[in-house]
Amino acid sequence: MSDTKSANAMWGGRFASGPDAIMEAINASIGFDKRLAAQDIAGSRAHAAMLAAQGIISDKDAEAIREGLLTVLSEIKAGTFQFSTALEDIHMNIEARLKEIIGEPAGRLHTARSRNDQVATDFRLWVRDQADAAIGGLEALIRALLDQAEAGADWVMPGFTHLQTAQPVTWGHHMMAYVEMFARDLGRFTDARARMNESPLGAAALAGTGFDIDRDMTAKALGFDRPMANSLDAVSDRDFALEFLAAASITAMHLSRFAEELVIWSSAQFRFVTLSDRFSTGSSIMPQKKNPDAAELIRAKIGRILGATMALFTVMKGLPLAYSKDMQEDKEQVFDAADTLMLALAAMTGMVSDMTANGENLEAAAASGFSTATDLADWLVREAGLPFRDAHHVTGALVAMAEAKGCDLADLSLGEMQEVNAAITEGVYDVLTVQASVASRMSYGGTAPARVREQIARWREALG
Ligand code: ARG
């Protein structure tokens, strides 16, 4: 397996021979960290400008470096850049190419810097972009949900507990429940973004540097709020990525729950919603089928995102300060989780925008399963003065009677009801409809259409 390649040009001064092929394979990250190219170049351009401003390198060299880096970036974007595994990672690939383009000044770029602060900076910038993308994706999804909620603020449907009919709710209320969840997710990405927005650049290998650098200048140039205050922490912290993954995991869990509801609701047994052809697929053998594949895939995507979260926690657990190569294992997981999340958000937004709720089916289902039994019990408390526990008991007896007769509560005659409790009057029928039931639930946060409309207006205003 030995390989007699020459030693690495970047760090091989003390090495007599190059790495074994297996060593090179396990060591190289260029296969995936090429995704950090734009961030790496932005970081290096900021660093070079700062070095010149501080008189550490000449303006002329800095200019050559900054221009040369733009050339490298355009080569990468054009797909003409030759990535090399022997050059390990994106940082050294770019620097080596820079040297080919501009010659000697390229060697001055790495003054007062290490790949440790470099990679921490690149990765933060990348994750920050993804936090912004997640925020944008969640906002789009929330808007789609608000449109659904508005269209169906009055439509009644069964509310479930244990997936058993519980009480009628409104379609708008159900959609708005997800607005609340996704808005909290959005808040988590916003919080994480604010916390991660500090610059590791200038922490150098781990201890800072003896050069008179200006970390505020590079932080500002890269859109960070400030430089990180501790160089050891700056190069070894990955909790910004973990926070991103945690927020992504919670979002994916919410997406998964909603996706599951869409799978159930679109089934022939429920027929609560019709998903659009654009977000469904057919079966190659059963011509009648229209499958909710997008919803099923979104339901499953949490596996990858949560897996990535677990993986990075496990990589970071027990690592002594400061940098260890273990931390090179931070990226692929986050890349995959971010890609997965953005796709799932986009697919859910498309599905929600396109889906049609079947109002009649929702209403018919809302009325089944004695869903207004609680309204009957509440009526007995209010109008007949019964303690709630007794009212519950009386209502239970009426449900049993209706069940035995195979009818709904509203189909029992007044005489039949009075056999169970003499205090019941004609007025009881007013509360037995699903419309009356939802309209009465005016408590703050309740399902009454008027309350739902207030919430829709509040969120529309908040989103601007
Ligand atoms: N490719 C490396 C990583 O992703 C860059 C940092 C390497 N630093 C070092 N001291 N070997 O972590």
Summarised one tens digit per residue, pLDDT across range 124-153 is 999 999 999 999 999 999 999 999 999 999
Geometric angle at alpha carbon 122, from 117 and 126, rounded to 5°:
145
- Work out the number of other CB atoms within 10 angstroms of the CB of residue 308: 25
Nearest to 295 by CA among 325, 258, 332, 244: 258
Quick check: 4 pLDDT over 60? no
Quote the tokens at residue 385: 């003065």
Q: Which helix (H) or strand (E) covers residue 68, if one does?
A: helix 59-78
116 alpha carbon to ligand 1 midpoint, in Å?
6
pLDDT at 1: 39
Task: Count the residues in the chain.
Answer: 464
Residues 103 and 27: their CA atoms lie apart, in Å, by 27
97 CB within 6 A, ligand 1: no
Q: Which residue has the higher pLDDT, 150 or 290?
A: 150
Query: How large is the average pLDDT for residues 280-289?
Result: 79
Residue 257 pLDDT > 60? yes
> What is the structure's pLDDT at 17?
81
The residue among 251 and 16 whose pLDDT is bigger is: 251
Q: Ligand 1 in contact with 118 (CB < 6 A)?
A: no
E-state strands within 82-163: 156-161
Does residue 455 have its Cβ closer than 6 Å to ligand 1? no
What pLDDT score was predicted for residue 2?
40
119 lines ligand 1 (CB under 6 A): yes
Residue 323 CA to ligand 1 centre (angstroms): 8
Q: Which of 77, 130, 118, 86 is nearest to 245 (CA)?
A: 130
Q: What is the mean pLDDT of residues 207-212?
A: 98
User: pLDDT category, 5, cuts 50, 70, 90?
Assistant: low
The alpha carbon of 120 and the centre of ligand 1 are apart by a number of angstroms equal to 9
Tell me how far apart the alpha carbons of residues 93 and 75 are, in angstroms, rounded to a whole number.
12
Q: For residue 294, give every residue at least 6 positions away whose Cβ sits within 8 Å of its Cβ, in sequence order, or none.
A: 275, 279, 280, 347, 348, 350, 351
Q: By percentage, how much of the chain surpasses pLDDT 90?
A: 90
Average pLDDT of the residues in 324-337: 97
Going from the Cα of 119 to the center of ligand 1, the distance in angstroms, rounded, reads 7
In the structure encoding, which two tokens stand for residue 245, read together?
A: 């993954």
- 12: confidence class by pLDDT, cuts 50, 70, 90: confident
Residues noted as catalytic = 162, 283
Q: How confident is the model at residue 6 (pLDDT cuts 50, 70, 90)?
A: confident
User: What spatial distance separates the first Cα and last Cα of the chain, rounded to whole Å?
Assistant: 63
Q: Is the CB of 123 under 6 A from ligand 1?
A: no
Amino acid making up residue 19? P
For the cut 50, the answer to whether the pLDDT of residue 80 exceeds it is yes
